[in-house]
Amino acid sequence: MFQFSSDTILFGVLRLCAIAAGSVLLLVFVFLVVESWPALSNVGLVRFFSDESWHPAGENGLFNLLPMLWGTLFVTAGSVLIATPLGIFSAIFCHYYAPSWMARVYRRLIELLAGIPSVVYGLWGLVVLVPLIRELQPPGPSLLAGIVILTLMILPTIALMADAAISNVPKQYLHSAAALGLSRWSTIIGVVVPAARSGLFAGVILGTGRAIGETMAILMVCGNVVQTPSSLFDPIRTLTANIALEMAYALNDHRSALFFSGLLLLLLIIVLASLAETVRVRGEVNV
Amino acid sequence: MSKGWDPGLVLSWTVAVIVAGAFCWLLGDVFWNGLGRVNWQFLTEAPRDAGRSGGIGPIIVSTMLILLVCMAASLPLGVGAAIYLSEFTDSEVGFGRMIRRSLEVLSGVPSIVFGLFGSAFFCIYLGLGFSILAGGLTLACMVLPILIRATEEGFRSVPSEYRLGGAALGMSRTRRLLYLSFPAALPSVVVGFVLGLGRAIAETAALIFTSGYVDRMPSSLFDSGRALSIHIFDTSMNVSGGEAQAYGTAVVLVFTLLSINLAASWITDRWLYRESIGS
Amino acid sequence: MPLNCDQWRFKAEGNMNVHSCVKATIMLLIASFIGLALASCGNNDDTRKLVLTGSSTVAPLAAELAKRFEALHPGVRIDVQTGGSSRGIADARSGVADIGMASRSLKPEESDLFGTAIARDGIAIILHKTNPVEMLSDDQVVQIFKGTIKNWKDVGGLEAPISVINKAEGRSTLELFLKYYRLKSREVKASVIIGDNEQGIKTLVGNPNAIGYVSIGAAEFNVDAGTPIKILPTKGVEASSENVANGLFPLSRPLTLVTKEPPEGLAKEFIDFALSSDVHNLIKQLHFVPIQ
């Protein structure tokens, strides 16, 4: 008898791998909390939302994160509102309206776009889109530019998820609808979309998460002025862009405040993930 | 089907044309402006004059080193975790459920947050400084959920007859895993690897505070090295007259990513499909 | 979890295909680790390394100095990272960098550090080349940056809205600019916030109705390279490196290399090299003013 058979060793090693992989999130969370602690204790939670502005450098720093929170919120909401119908109709197009060869090409295109790096979207936005918006209404880098770029970036996510959700609609639903003499459009609106709604919703949540977290493209096209926008053409700064822009030279409480905004982002994502989980569970119960 | 005007027809075609048009514009713009730049010299020379001229040789090397570190760290860990999750746990209860939830959240964490974490943990806490090692390890944390998800699916889809047959022949669990399940799940491991590689090579935000900006040929893993995506960002944002170089680099990056994605879908279509027919 | 700890060992050599699959994967893993190990071994001790971080104004100069220094001293590697003056000073203090770069002199509260000025530079207002405005008084500049003057026609230009390019917090170019014009950071109504000098110039080139301020060295370098910008005089004094050199230009600052301890070893060699007259031509090439 061996004291440790190869099975015991294997089991131990694999378990260790799983624990290590599972604890990465914990590690990230702990480090964000530890690093944002100085700001939380020196500045206090309230001042992140009540200070008069964001001027965190120097002796008497001011730490209002609200304008950037609004920036993140507006740019995310705008892009999700536009990308959702576009993505869902893309999937409907592939399933019900396009000739099969075209559906295949279109699907490939969307898959391809899902893999394009954000910095390439940013490059296009910076060189093509921003000057176009400047023609319309200076200065050019703006909330609008951010919304357009983000829409393009999250559209593939939403479209691919919608595509999968629509594929999973049971065939007998469609046969019944046809038997009832429903038109194609009525079938889609009345049968397919309701049946696929939990999948569609999951896609929208995934897209929202991606929009909240996007950094480089937003940094390149939004102008990065800390202000609550009053029009689509105002430049804005998001929480993510703020971190990318200032982390390189932030010190002390300022640096710690940036980690706090990272922590905020992480919490937002956790909320979104649990929302997605609820939807998934409920979807399974319903079907 | 009843005849008459179908609003879905008009709407879906309009959407398809807009979306396809926007994307052709984007890709067309990148290739139109960048393709002319790419040649052997561009791929091998060092950048000169802050990246206004010269090539991207050292940047390609740095990128590959970062990816190597990333994959060398995440592949064993990810495959190990995936085997454990699929072979030894139930996905919906207890320990397995907890780890799986944690990985799900992890896959949604913004890359800039990974950047913050990497800078605090790898660069400062572990003392790696701005280095290729720190950048690669940060990326490894990021691609772990992707790798595990794909690999786990592969192991779950191994027919249980394999395991039962192996057990009946008196093989130990280790041997069954190594000689039966693993080869059957190998295509999924490769798909996970390729998808993870794709995510890692596209990443920018997680690298700006971890692997840094130095655009020179790295002489060790402890040197700072600039990745392709950071070079695009830097030349397009911070260098007047740098767009041409940014476009050239973007073509190289997009082309690499396209090949990676094509490889992934080829493996999925051919290899996985054939395996399932074969079994 | 049930675990079969059976002692039976079964050789599955029959299936060569399976075998080679496993082998290939294991080889791949091992190869990647060996590659990793080899690459780390490259970090041998006979290369001496110096890390500089900080001001984006000093960085191009430091990078050029580093190149020449490396050429003269084989086996030395100097890495330059930009970030901003306060970052440079913090990194020098914490030891993350061997030398910090700052585009200003040390403040009284930084007297624990050791600074060496290696060149002088000024800060100038820049406009797009096509902008007909040739001159702005200090008061006009203040009003433009405060947002009380919003259109170029109010200062003798075309009918067009002004886009103000401001620098991000923590940059000494911003601090000195604000100090000279007696502005407060929160009074500035910016349209675009930028980090590096080059980013400011680039943004301005893309937007002909913008106004910005950058290091004179960076601005002159770009004018020479054919970038369509122009440099405005301040208080009637032409913003040029000559006028910085003879002290006429009102808004100037030293470019400083900062160390935690009195410089020694490689750091001292490098700083001495930066001060030597051999590199004056290099400093002038970048439109900075050598310290005599």
Per-residue model confidence as pLDDT tens digits over C130-182: 999 998 999 999 999 999 999 999 998 888 889 999 988 777 888 889 999 99
Domain contains B2:
no
Please tell me the distance from the alpha carbon of residue C195 to that of residue C181, in angstroms, as a whole number. 20
User: Where does the pLDDT of residue C41 fall: very low under 50, low under 70, confident under 90, or very high at 90 and above?
Assistant: very low
Least confident window among A33-47, B111-125, B174-188: B174-188
Domain contains B3:
no
List of chain C residues whose C-beta atoms are within 8 Å of the C-beta of residue A2: 7
Domain that holds residue A212: 67-286
Domain contains A154:
yes
Q: Is A57's Cβ below 8 Å from some Cβ in C?
A: yes
Is the CB of B113 less than 8 angstroms away from the CB of A32? yes
Domain contains B154:
yes
Asked if residue C126 has pLDDT above 90, the reply is: yes
- Domain count along chain A: 1
List of chain A residues whose C-beta atoms are within 8 Å of the C-beta of residue C6: 5, 7
> C264, exposed or middle or buried, with CB in 10 Å at 0-12, 13-18, 19+?
exposed
Domain contains A192:
yes
| Complex ipTM | 0.91
Strands C99-102 and B47-48: unpaired
* Token pair belonging to A147: 């919304």
Q: What is the pLDDT of residue B109?
A: 93
Domain contains A24:
no
List of chain B residues whose C-beta atoms are within 8 Å of the C-beta of residue C39: 65, 68, 220-221
Is the CB of A14 less than 8 angstroms away from the CB of B83? yes
What mean pLDDT is predicted for residues B249-257? Answer: 93
CA-based nearest distance C80→chain B, Å: 7
Q: What is the pLDDT of residue C43?
A: 46
Are the C-beta atoms of residues A206 and A39 closer than 8 Å to each other? no
What mean pLDDT is predicted for residues C25-38? Answer: 54
Q: How many residues does chain C have?
A: 292
Map residue A55 onto helix, strand or coil: strand
Residue type, C94: S
Is the CB of C29 less than 8 angstroms away from the CB of B76? yes
CA-based nearest distance A233→chain B, Å: 20
Task: Using alpha carbons, list the distances in angstroms from residue A232 to A108, A138, B84, C67, C161.
Answer: 33, 11, 50, 46, 17
Domain contains A137:
yes
Q: What is the pLDDT of residue A4?
A: 64
Please tell me the distance from the alpha carbon of residue B17 to that of residue B9, in angstroms, as a whole number. 12
What CATH number has the domain bearing residue A145? Answer: 1.10.3720.10
Least confident window among A6-15, A41-50, B137-146, C38-47: C38-47
Q: What is the pLDDT of residue A215?
A: 92
Q: What is the pLDDT of residue B106?
A: 93
What mean pLDDT is predicted for residues A109-126? Answer: 89
List of chain B residues whose C-beta atoms are within 8 Å of the C-beta of residue C47: 219
Q: Compare all CA atoms of chain C with the CA of A255 and give the residue at the minimum distance.
A: C87
User: Where does the pLDDT of residue A125 fall: very low under 50, low under 70, confident under 90, or very high at 90 and above?
Assistant: very high
Residue type, C180: Y
User: Where does the pLDDT of residue A10 fall: very low under 50, low under 70, confident under 90, or very high at 90 and above?
Assistant: confident
List of chain C residues whose C-beta atoms are within 8 Å of the C-beta of residue B178: 22
Please tell me the distance from the alpha carbon of residue B107 to that of residue B135, in angstroms, as a whole number. 18
**Mean pLDDT, rounded, of chain C:** 81
Is the CB of B117 less than 8 angstroms away from the CB of A28? yes
Q: Is C4's Cβ below 8 Å from some Cβ in B?
A: yes
Write out the DSSP string of chain C. -------------S-HHHHHHHHHHHHHHHHHHHHHHHHHHT--TTSEEEEEEE-TTTHHHHHHHHHHHHHHSTTEEEEEEE--HHHHHHHHHHTSSSEEEESSPPPGGGTTSEEEEEEEEEEEEEEETT-------HHHHHHHHHTS--BGGGGTS-S-BPEEEEEPTT-HHHHHHHHHTT--GGG---SEEE-SHHHHHHHHHH-TTEEEEEEHHHHHHHHHTT-SEEEPPBTTB--SHHHHHTT--SSEEEEEEEESSS--HHHHHHHHHHHSGGGHHHHHHTT-EE--
Please tell me the distance from the alpha carbon of residue A101 to that of residue A108, in angstroms, as a whole number. 11
Mutating which of C103, C144, C192 best tests the A interface, going by the most A Cβ atoms within 10 A? C192
Domain contains A221:
yes
List of chain C residues whose C-beta atoms are within 8 Å of the C-beta of residue B76: 29
Domain that holds residue B141: 10-278
For A254-270, write each residue's pLDDT tens digit.
889 999 999 999 999 99
Asked if residue C11 has pLDDT above 80, the reply is: no
Is the CB of B102 less than 8 angstroms away from the CB of A22? yes
User: Where does the pLDDT of residue C247 fall: very low under 50, low under 70, confident under 90, or very high at 90 and above?
Assistant: confident
Angle, helices B57-88 vs B228-238, to 10°: value is 130
Window 187-246 of B, Cβ < 8 Å to C: 189, 212-214, 216, 219-224, 237-242
Is the CB of B179 less than 8 angstroms away from the CB of C22? yes
Best CA proximity match to B208, nearest among A148, C260, C83: C83
Asked if residue C38 has pLDDT above 80, the reply is: no
What CATH number has the domain bearing residue B188? Answer: 1.10.3720.10
Domain contains A27:
no
Is the CB of B81 less than 8 angstroms away from the CB of A216? no
Is the CB of C86 less than 8 angstroms away from the CB of A249? yes
Q: Compare all CA atoms of chain C with the CA of B71 and give the residue at the minimum distance.
A: C32
Window 32-91 of C, Cβ < 8 Å to A: 82-87, 90
Map residue B91 onto helix, strand or coil: coil
This prediction's pTM: 0.86
What mean pLDDT is predicted for residues A122-129? Answer: 91
Q: What is the pLDDT of residue B274?
A: 55
- Domain count along chain B: 1
List of chain B residues whose C-beta atoms are within 8 Å of the C-beta of residue A275: none
For A81-96, write each residue's pLDDT tens digit.
999 999 999 999 999 8
Domain contains A54:
no
User: Where does the pLDDT of residue A285 fall: very low under 50, low under 70, confident under 90, or very high at 90 and above?
Assistant: low
User: Where does the pLDDT of residue B216 fall: very low under 50, low under 70, confident under 90, or very high at 90 and above?
Assistant: confident
CA-based nearest distance C189→chain A, Å: 9
Least confident window among A141-150, B22-31, B176-185, C272-281: B176-185
Domain contains A92:
yes
E strands, A7-81, in order: 54-55, 62-63
